[in-house]
Copies of this chain bind each other. A is one copy, B any other.
Amino acid sequence: MLSNKLRKQIQQLNRKKYRQQWGLFVAEGEKVVQDLLAAHYVPVHLLATKPYENLETISISNAQMRSISHFATPSPLLGVFELPQKAIKTPTSFHLVLDQIKDPGNLGTLIRLSDWYGLNDLVCSLDSVDCYNPKVVQASMGSIARVQIHYCSLENHLKSLAGPIYFADLNGASLYAQPLQTKGALVLGSESHGISPALYEVAHQALTISKQNKNKACVESLNVAVAGAIFLHEFFRP
């Protein structure tokens, strides 16, 4: 049974204000829900349009799922989970640092990439999109269960790091030619504006993905998630 109260609550969990007020977030999709459960996230409600072995779910209709889903094409499984109470432990191994990432899909994809490359942490500026936004959770494809995401002042965070601080910039050294260490951090800014001016003071090495198209009429930059993928592939070259 889906009560009106629960329906309304799930709809409101689209907003950060309500997620923080209630200490809850929504995850949609079988893979994401299963991965959160495997990582010991605490489920408060599991709603499903079909039965799942080993999962105690509230059975709802497809129409009901459509009324609570944050997506045009809902998945058969939706979970409401407690927001984790994270120990505030500064990351020490190599990680991505994201400056003003606003697009939920991009953040979700960068979480997934961090997981693929075995990075334990991801650090975001305070004005980046919230990682418990339903679209971020979904785009992370379950990786949000395994990557610790921190929100803090990037300037202070970068100053506290011992290793090199690389950053993506349209006028840096070619990524193909630079020796890279998987230590410290790699800072990615917004596609159009790059990293914040204050961060230039604390970052050490500007890196650029070489544009092969030499025509003047060509796209000016790459999507930040796509750029992150290329950087990580290069950092982890054996």
Question: Measuring CB to CB, which residues of chain A are less than 8 angstroms from any residue of chain B?
Answer: 35, 38-39, 105, 109, 112-113, 115-118, 141-143, 146, 175-176, 209-215, 217-219, 222-223, 225-227, 229-230, 233-234, 236-238
Contact = CB atoms under 8 A, between A and B. Distances in A.
Contact of A234 (B117, B233, B236, B238): B233
Identical chains in the assembly: 2
Given A212-B117, A213-B118, A225-B226, A142 B233 contact: no
A38 B109 contact: no
Contacts of A218: 115-116, 118, 143, 146
A77 B112 CA distance: 33
A116 B233 contact: no
11 contacts: A39-B217, A112-B226, A115-B219, A116-B222, A117-B213, A118-B212, A118-B218, A142-B219, A176-B237, A176-B238, A223-B225
Nearest to A38: B217
Contact of A222 (B39, B211, B229): B229
A54 B215 CA distance: 23
A118 B215 CA distance: 8
Nearest to A145: B217
A233 B105 CA distance: 22
Contacts of A142: 219
Contacts of A217: 35, 38-39, 146
Contacts of A115: 213, 218-219
A232 to B, nearest CB: 8
A219 B112 contact: yes
Contact of A143 (B113, B219, B230, B236): B219
Given A115-B219, A219-B115, A219-B116, A209 B233 contact: yes
Contact of A236 (B118, B212, B233): B212
Given A35-B217, A146-B217, A222-B229, 15 more contacts: A109-B226, A115-B213, A115-B219, A116-B212, A117-B213, A118-B212, A118-B213, A118-B214, A118-B218, A141-B219, A143-B219, A210-B236, A230-B230, A230-B233, A233-B234
